[in-house]
Structures are given as structure tokens and as C-alpha cells.
Amino acid sequence: MNVWTATDRRVGMWSGAAIVFFSVMYIITGVIWVRFSTSGAGVQALEPSEPFLTILETLILLCTPALVGLFAAIHADAPPDRKTCSLAAFGFAVLLAGITGVVHFVQLTAIRRPANRTIAGVFAMYDPTGRLTPTLAADLAAWDFFPGFGLLAAPIFKGEKLQVAIRASMTLSGLLCLVGVSGPASGDLRFQYPAIVGYAFVFPFVCLLLTITIRPLRQVRRLSYLILEWILAQPLTK
């Protein structure tokens, strides 16, 4: 790959790190919701209760700028013969960030506040009858279709073991998200679970690998030493 500029590295590194952080918070919030949810139907239909829904939507909204920044950095460093792939991947990332960002911004502002019931009903994320709403369908389309950017960006990475791991993980994430299309297409959101694994678990792992790749090696080693020192400093518990 080409040589990143200092700005490219900073944007890519902090964008990747931000995605990892927000994703971990997203997973923790989701696990707590599933653990303490009193509605099995809500869990099955992927309908988080409050305050978990607001927290999850806020985390997604915060993640969208980082997603654009990360793929901008990837495009900046892509080899000349793969610039088309990286540019297409960046375009898909912008589409994903734009669609899901608007969806969740509307939910967190206009829909959360007292509003006309008709407007709230039209733009509601979930339907009381359990039917797929246009708003949720748009959000699922963004996460299910547009992670094709993973499939487009994957060929950019080749060579050493870390690059191969990024390529394989990106491909897996993209394929799982595409499989999740069967959820909204069939009306049975249980088929959405593969996509959730793809974008909530596999893709953050990809971002972690990318952050390590973008970060200068000496800083990676220093961070590793700091983490190791912190682990060794923790008291042993029985």
C-alpha cells in the first residue's frame, strides 16, 4: 500500500478507535437490554425498550462520522490499481452514514419530543403490531446492503498476515450483512441476526485491526506495553 500522510494516519486511527469504542458500548448496552428485558417478544422483534433504545441510537449516530473518516483514510492509502474499489467503498460508507444518521437523528429529536401523532406514526421506528415500518426498513437497508463496502474494500488489503486478516474479516462482515437482507425481505427479523453479527461484532474487529495497521509500529508497541503493565498491576482475585 502507499504511504499514509500524518493527517491520513490521525484521521484513520482515531476513526477506527472511535468505531471500536462505540461498538463495545453498543454491545454492552444490547446485552444489558436482552438480560433485563421483560418482553421476550420485543427481543425477538429487535425492539429495544427505553432507555436502551435511546442509548443505542445515540451510539449509532456518534459512530457515523468515524465510519466516513475511516474509509476516507483507506481510500487515501489504496494502491493505484485498487483506487476504484476504495472509492466505491467510500461511497457506500457515505450512503450508510447518511441514511442511518438521518434516521436516528430524526428518532432522537422529532419523534422523542411531543409531536403530532400522525407524524410520529409515519416516522416511528417500530409498529405496535410488529410490522416492518418504512423507517426501520430504510435503516436495515443501510446496514444490510451498504456493507458491500466491506466486499469492495477487502481486495485493497493483501500481503502480510495482518493485511490478510483484515481482508478475510472485511469479506466475512460484508457477506453476513448481505445475508441479513433476508430479514426485512421476508418480514421475519430473526433472519436479521447474521447481519447483526456482521456489523456489530465482526466489523468492529476489522476496525481494531485497521487501527493497529494505521498506527505507527512504535506507538502500537508502546500501547501494548501500557496495557500489559496495567494487567500486571491488577490485584489477583480468588
Dump pLDDT digits (tens) for 81-110: 889 999 999 999 999 999 999 988 988 887
Fill in the DSSP letter of residue 132.
P
pLDDT of residue 72: 93
Q: pLDDT tens-digit profile of 23-63?
A: 999 999 988 888 876 655 445 556 777 788 889 999 999 99
| For range 111-119, the mean pLDDT | 63
Q: How many domains does the chain have?
A: 1
Cα-based angle 101, 103, 107 (whole degrees, multiple of 5): 115
Asked, for residue 16, whether it belongs to a domain, the answer is yes
Give the span between the Cα atoms of 97 and 66, in whole angstroms.
9
| For range 123-138, the mean pLDDT | 74
Asked, for residue 183, whether it belongs to a domain, the answer is yes
Asked, for residue 40, whether it belongs to a domain, the answer is yes
Asked, for residue 189, whether it belongs to a domain, the answer is yes
Asked, for residue 195, whether it belongs to a domain, the answer is yes
Residue, of 202 and 129, whose pLDDT is higher = 202
Residue, of 216 and 196, whose pLDDT is higher = 196
Indicate if the pLDDT at residue 114 is higher than 80. Answer: no
Contact, 201 vs 195, CB < 8 A?
no
Neighbouring residues of 99: CB distance < 8 A, sequence distance ≥ 6 = 138, 139, 141, 142, 146
pLDDT of residue 24: 92
The C-alpha R_g of the chain, in whole angstroms, comes to 19
Q: Provide the domain limits for residue 217.
A: 6-221
Give the span between the Cα atoms of 178 and 85, in whole angstroms.
18
Average pLDDT value over all residues in the chain: 80
pLDDT of residue 234: 57
Asked, for residue 236, whether it belongs to a domain, the answer is no
Asked, for residue 157, whether it belongs to a domain, the answer is yes
Indicate if the pLDDT at residue 64 is higher than 90. Answer: yes
pLDDT of residue 217: 47
Contact, 197 vs 167, CB < 8 A?
no
Asked, for residue 1, whether it belongs to a domain, the answer is no
| For range 179-206, the mean pLDDT | 84
